[in-house]
């Protein structure tokens, strides 16, 4: 029972969800040997549409990272 609650909490973690989305996007877009999005965006072998998607993804990642950090590490009153 406790394990399933922990798993449910982890599944709600936005970073985990974004990671899954990124992996699927890389597969769909034939991104070979994907590293972090901020590294992939610098590659010469991506097109403008992919670059725009990555820019948006990076913005969302940064927001989710800040939110997850607050939710999981800040003391609550």
Instruction: Write out the E strands in 1-77.
Output: none
Q: What is the pLDDT of residue 66?
A: 86
The count of structural domains within the chain is 1
| pTM, rounded to two decimals | 0.75
Answer with the residue of higher pLDDT: 71 or 35.
35
Segments forming the whole domain that contains residue 39: 2-73
**pLDDT at residue number 52:** 98
CB atoms within 10 A of CB 48: 7
Q: What is the pLDDT of residues 22-64, one digit of tens each?
A: 999 999 999 999 999 999 999 999 999 999 999 999 999 999 8
Rounded to the nearest 10°, the torsion over CA 23, 57, 28, 32 is -70
Cα 37 from chain centroid?
A: 9
Residue 66 in tokens: 């800040």
């Amino acid at each position: 029972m406790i394990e399933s609650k922990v798993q449910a909490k982890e599944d709600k973690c936005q970073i985990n969800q974004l990671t899954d989305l990124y992996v699927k996007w890389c597969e769909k877009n034939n991104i070979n040997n994907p590293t972090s999005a901020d590294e992939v965006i610098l590659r010469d072998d991506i097109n403008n549409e992919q670059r725009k998607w990555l820019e948006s993804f990076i913005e969302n990642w940064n927001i989710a990272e800040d939110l997850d950090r607050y939710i999981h590490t800040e003391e609550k009153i």
